[in-house]
Structure 1
């Protein structure tokens, strides 16, 4: 845009004011404040940008858009790397839970075999161990974590899928902790839940 002053009209105004001063003996001088009181003295008009200026503007806009896109890509890569790191943590937890499940199952078999000779004393313990069998939950946990691993490396929007799988992992961890309150298992569950929460925080920023 360009602001134009109508100098011809201004000269007419000034000449008219001077005549009025002489004719009626008025005092005062015409100053810049007079210009602001007469808006028709100015006219704003649109000016077409030169071809070179237009090209510069377009290049600047394109450069800014590219910078934004690169920034988003870098942020996306960082988020995915962070998620993959926590998924590896969950894989370690799932593997250790699977080992604990095997130990519990072996213990239940051993105690069940001893029941034949020590039924009264061992039966309550055996029932407790049998109820604490977490083999199926450990298998499902491992399966969900493997699905998380595959999903975390997939291109495109994965936020909602991640959230769904995290809910499944959380559900299995809760079931495991309720069925097997042994300290070794509880520690693994807490570590797993910590990993789930960290992934969930990052998943909120993944499209």
Structure 2
């Protein structure tokens, strides 16, 4: 489902801003953009996403702007010493290499650290703010889900109407087909065995009998309605039901003996496809 949420927090040590977007996707695919100083939050953030969402491509962007008065850069001496030791070891393996200059070292992630800023406080606030943004995102997806459910219900009503129409016409369709077959056979051979003719008519009626398909279509329609009322994620279950509805529509089309049932099968397939496209957006 498509949704967007934005949350901002202004503190004495600086500001945090979360922007969270989700677009349609069959599975959950999170993308996190975090400042280097908050990179270790990626694991907890992914866990929060997994608990709240099951589908969608979700882009999460965090902006952190420290307050200048709260910053004091300090060299991480232990880390820099490790860099120098590693450089010396590489020089022994590659004598022609050049030593790192001080600016190269300072550019290295982790070489400089903030001695005044309490990063644990920043991380806790970033997690709290993310949960709030996630609440907004889920609420937006729920609103969209209700609209999609209304659209699907309209298509289900149309499918049930088509099924009822085919079922009401079926006796007349079979009777017309019986009369047409008798007329054609009579033209070809007046002395055709009547018993043989009746057998052919019975076989034709059996082949054209779609009562079972009509029953299954109605059953699947009721199951879709039941699933839509559930509180847990139902997208994949609805995907399966769309396949089953489409299977019955194809069977109806293959058994069609008159234009009426062919047109009804086509109409059913159009309605099912419209639902299937929207169900890709459902959690």
TM range (shorter): 0.5 to 0.7
Which residue number corresponds to residue 161 of structure 2? Answer: 92
Equivalent pairs, count: 175
Which residue number corresponds to residue 2 of structure 1? Answer: 71
Residues 124-146 of structure 1: CA distance to partner in whole angstroms, max 9, x if unpaired? 98367513222222222222222
Structure 2 unmatched ranges of 5 or more: 1-69, 75-102, 107-111
What's the TM-score, normalizing by structure 1?
A: 0.63
**Greater fraction of residues in strand:** 2
Distance 1:57 1:133 in 2: 63
Q: Please give the root-mean-square deviation of Cα atoms over the aligned residues, in Å.
A: 4.3
Which residue number corresponds to residue 27 of structure 1? Answer: none
Measured after TM superposition, the shift of residue 78 of structure 1 is 2.1
Does the 8 Å contact 1:97/1:185 carry over to 2? yes
**Greater fraction of residues in helix:** 1
Measured after TM superposition, the shift of residue 61 of structure 1 is 4.5
Distance 1:77 1:204 in 2: 14
Which residue number corresponds to residue 252 of structure 2? Answer: 176
Structure 1 unmatched ranges of 5 or more: 6-35
Distance 2:162 2:266 in 1: 10
Match among 46, 57, 62 for residue 115 of structure 2: 46
1:104 aligns with 2:104: no
Measured after TM superposition, the shift of residue 190 of structure 1 is 0.8
Which residue number corresponds to residue 212 of structure 2? Answer: 136
Measured after TM superposition, the shift of residue 192 of structure 1 is 0.5
Does the 8 Å contact 1:97/1:188 carry over to 2? yes
What's the TM-score, normalizing by structure 2?
A: 0.48
Distance 2:240 2:177 in 1: 34
